[in-house]
Structure 1
Amino acid sequence: MTHFAVAALRILLVAAFALLLLLQTMSFPGQFAHMAQESPERAYLQWPLTAFAVVELLCVQVVIVSTWKLLTLVRRDRIFSGAATAWVDAIVWAVLVAWALLFALFLAVGFTADDPGVPLMLFVFVVGGAVIGLLMLVLRELLRQATTLRSDMEAVI
């Protein structure tokens, strides 16, 4: 069952990575260039928004690659090792960077918005990102404890 789940998840990770790459290189830059042409008063936002979108998607790509590596460790029954902790740390840092950028955008938009819809939506994303980040920290600690227990058990056996 685990073999099937790992294989299915890998297929989905490849599809998600490819989609993010497409968004990162074509969709968002094109969308923001179109926005600058259609609304010249907002043209100054083209490059900051493009950079924001590219970095946010890059953070998600780091999570995808780290998850792929963790799946490899699961398949090899090496998930309770220091290598796993390093990949979980990469996920934690990627989530932290993405959250910090999102929080900065929330603050920038929140203080200048006329309509509460966008700041409210960004607030939901900020809270969701905080939950994901804190959950990853808890899971990292669980992995550390499980790794310690496994090494203790191997020493006894």
Structure 2
Amino acid sequence: MPSKHRALGLLRVLLVLLFAGLVVAQVAILPGTLAYLADEEPDLAYLQWPALVFSIVELLCVQVVIVCTWQLLGMVKADRIFSEGAFVWVNTIVWTMAAAWVLLFGAFVYVTVLVSGPGLPVLLFGVMLAGGVLVLLMVVMRALLRQATILRSDMDAVI
């Protein structure tokens, strides 16, 4: 049990650091970087604001997943993870990841039409595939949680 609590504590510390890093990226790094790129490439300057909005929304999706994960960790610590309350957070994770994937797919299509070289479209295609795998993995994990929750409630009824 103590190792589980240490792992939960360490994971929470890392989640806080990740969340803080994403806030810094949204507020300080992305706007400045995209403004610099717009100055360096005037032909693509019109993409500055769409790229900024896209990036901030994608990072916001990651932040929502972090908050939901934090809530699920609290349920693990309290030994309530196998309850119906966990599905609110898991469903939010699945739908948020699906929305982020749809946005990424839209960016992939847009960039593929806009860019002539294969580099960026291939990179986005790889990221899109990895994102799709993560979404489907979360769907499978939700189904496993559902089965474990049913089994736990059946065992509680027997005992």
**1:134 Cα deviation (Å)?**
0.1
The match for 1:134 is 136
Structure 1 segments unaligned to the other structure (5+ residues): none
1:80 is matched with which residue: 79, 82, 85? Answer: 82
TM-score, normalised with respect to structure 2: 0.96
Alpha-carbon separation, structure 1, partners of 2:112 and 2:42: 22
Alpha-carbon separation, structure 1, partners of 2:99 and 2:89: 15
1:145 is matched with which residue: 139, 144, 147? Answer: 147
Structure 2 segments unaligned to the other structure (5+ residues): none
**1:43 Cα deviation (Å)?**
1.6
Alpha-carbon separation, structure 1, partners of 2:116 and 2:42: 19
Alpha-carbon separation, structure 2, partners of 1:42 and 1:126: 23
The match for 2:107 is 105
Residue type of the alignment partner of 2:158: V
Alpha-carbon separation, structure 2, partners of 1:125 and 1:74: 30
The match for 1:46 is 48
SS in 1 for 2:114: coil
After TM superposition, the structure 1 = structure 2 runs for residues 45-64 of structure 1, keeping only pairs within 5 Å, are 45-64=47-66
TM-score, normalised with respect to structure 1: 0.97
**1:89 Cα deviation (Å)?**
0.7
**1:49 Cα deviation (Å)?**
0.4
The match for 1:37 is 39
How many residue pairs align between the two structures? Answer: 157
**1:120 Cα deviation (Å)?**
0.5
**1:140 Cα deviation (Å)?**
0.3
